[in-house]
Amino acid sequence: MESGGGRPYRQGVRAHAAAETAERILDAAAAVFWERPSDQISLEEVAVRAEVSVRTVIRRFGGKEGLLAAGVAREVQRTRAQRDLAPVGDVSAAVAVLVEHYETTGDRVLKLLAEEVRVPGLTDVVDRGRRLHREWCTRVFAPTVADLGGVERRRRLAQLVAVCDVYTWKLLRRDAGLSRRQTELALVELLTLLVEGT
């Protein structure tokens, strides 16, 4: 005869296994997403990489759109957690966090941005990323814009968002060939001008 705690234990094990399977599917989907154009991703390839059936992918995420939505939600959460390590009002520390993020994801984000106009479903994904970036700049540089109002505040915040943008990192790191350290220094110099100019 089974003890009273048997069923909850089995349910817990089952839930844990289901969560692990979901993570494996999302990992596989992310790997495929970064390797090829978004409109060429197939559930079959994701399933093979995750070592599950297509039916399992569909049952868990409801198809390609649901899979993309879940993947985006996970990446936004991870990005927010990483970016939130930046302290408010410390330009050098904020830049270190920002460049660390771009070093690991910058090229992928650039790929995503390049595909936005070609793959309509990516517009929402890119817009979420833009909102997250703006929110981060608003939080990290709050002391810089605190005493500004109206159009002056909007302009200064737009400048901060632009300097911290992935395209600025690309111009410095990829196009100009600066080292990571020199890229950080360049960003700190640009941001300091804005921060001290208030």
pLDDT-based confidence at 69, cuts 50/70/90? confident
The answer, as to whether pTM is greater than 0.85, is no
Residues, the chain, total? Answer: 198
Average pLDDT (20-34) is: 85
Nearest to 192, CA basis, from 154, 155, 164, 153: 164
Please tell me the distance from the alpha carbon of residue 164 to that of residue 134, in angstroms, as a whole number.
9
For residue 43, tell me if it sits in a domain: yes
For residue 144, tell me if it sits in a domain: yes
Residues 30 and 122 in one domain: no
For residue 78, tell me if it sits in a domain: no
Q: What is the pLDDT of residue 153?
A: 95
Residues 2 and 53 in one domain: yes
Task: Answer yes or no: is pLDDT of 95 > 80.
Answer: yes
Q: What is the pLDDT of residue 116?
A: 81
For residue 79, tell me if it sits in a domain: no
pLDDT-based confidence at 32, cuts 50/70/90? confident
Q: 51 is in which domain, residue-wise?
A: 1-70
Task: For residue 164, give the DSSP letter.
Answer: T
For residue 120, tell me if it sits in a domain: yes
Q: Which of 10-19, 27-36, 145-154 has the highest mean pLDDT?
A: 145-154
Amino acid, res. 37? P
Return the higher-pLDDT residue of 129 and 122: 129
Q: What is the pLDDT of residues 96-120, one digit of tens each?
A: 999 999 999 899 889 888 888 877 7
Establish how many alpha carbons lie within 13 A of residue 86's alpha carbon, considering only the half-sphere containing its beta carbon: 28
For residue 105, tell me if it sits in a domain: yes
Please tell me the distance from the alpha carbon of residue 45 to that of residue 178, in angstroms, as a whole number.
37
Residues 135 and 189 in one domain: yes
Q: What is the pLDDT of residue 114?
A: 87
Total of domains in the chain? 2
Tokens of 67: 């899979």
pLDDT-based confidence at 10, cuts 50/70/90? low
**Positive/negative CA dihedral, 184, 186, 190, 196:** positive
Whether residue 160 contacts residue 190, with contact meaning beta carbons closer than 8 Å, is answered with no
Whether residue 83 contacts residue 97, with contact meaning beta carbons closer than 8 Å, is answered with yes
For residue 4, tell me if it sits in a domain: yes
